[in-house]
Every structure is written in structure tokens, then in C-alpha cells.
Amino acid sequence: MGKCDKCLKTGYATRALESGDETFGGKPLNLCFDCYQAEVQEIIKNTPKVVKDEDEAWAKQQTFGGPHGWVQWKGTDVCMDYHCKCGAHAHLDSWFAYYVKCPECGTIYFCNGHIELIEVTNPSGQTLENAKEGYL
């Protein structure tokens, strides 16, 4: 049992997180489980996803360790808003949107099929009525 370097809780099993990233000052951190998970998610969120081709894009898709889903693109139409690294915000209504292109700078993005699922602990009204139940 140790002491978490972030939240300072004691009596918790800690995990060492090592990184050369300046976020951690290049030194290992001893973190409780909750702080460790938060740091790992922050690293994932801030890690740029840049690939050279379609094969690398498919291989680099973000996956989630917790609740998550997978959008199974079937070539149907999509309506989406997206934001580019250049700051542009675009809207698209299209068929076969496996990739999108920024109308401002021309950057092309692969549409990751993995999506995060956010648990609703106290659903009511329309949420209960509209929640879709999958099958096993």
C-alpha cells in the first residue's frame, strides 16, 4: 500500500506511471487506480492520431477499455459536424463518409468507428423510452 502522488490518498495500491512527457516531469508517478485511469485517458486523448495511409488508419483506431461501442459503417448516409486541427468547423451530409476532408485546410481524416458510451445512472422520460436494446 502506498500514497498517491496526485490525490494524496494513502492506504491504496498504487501503480507507477512512467513517461518522458513533460506532463510528468519525466519521472515516475505512483497513482491510485482512479488517478492512474484518469492519467491514461488524458494521454490517449492528447496523443495525436496521424497516419500515412488507410491501412494504418484502420489499425490506429482508438479503442476503449471500458464501456464502448463500434459504429458499423455500411455505406449509408450520415449527417455530422466535425472540427479540424486548423480550427475550422464543418458540416457534412453524405453517403459513404469513411473519410472527411476539411474545407479550410484540406486535411483528410479517417472516421473512427469506435465510440465512447457514457453511463446514465438515473434515466427518465424520453431517455427510457428511446433507449435501444441490443441482442446477444
If you count DSSP H runs as helices and E runs as strands, how many of each does the chain have, helices first?
3, 10
Which residues lie below 8 Å from residue 112, measured CB to CB, with a gap of 6+? Answer: 61, 62
pLDDT score at 107: 92
pLDDT score at 28: 63
Model pTM greater than 0.75? no
Q: Which residues of the chain fall below pLDDT 50?
A: 19-23
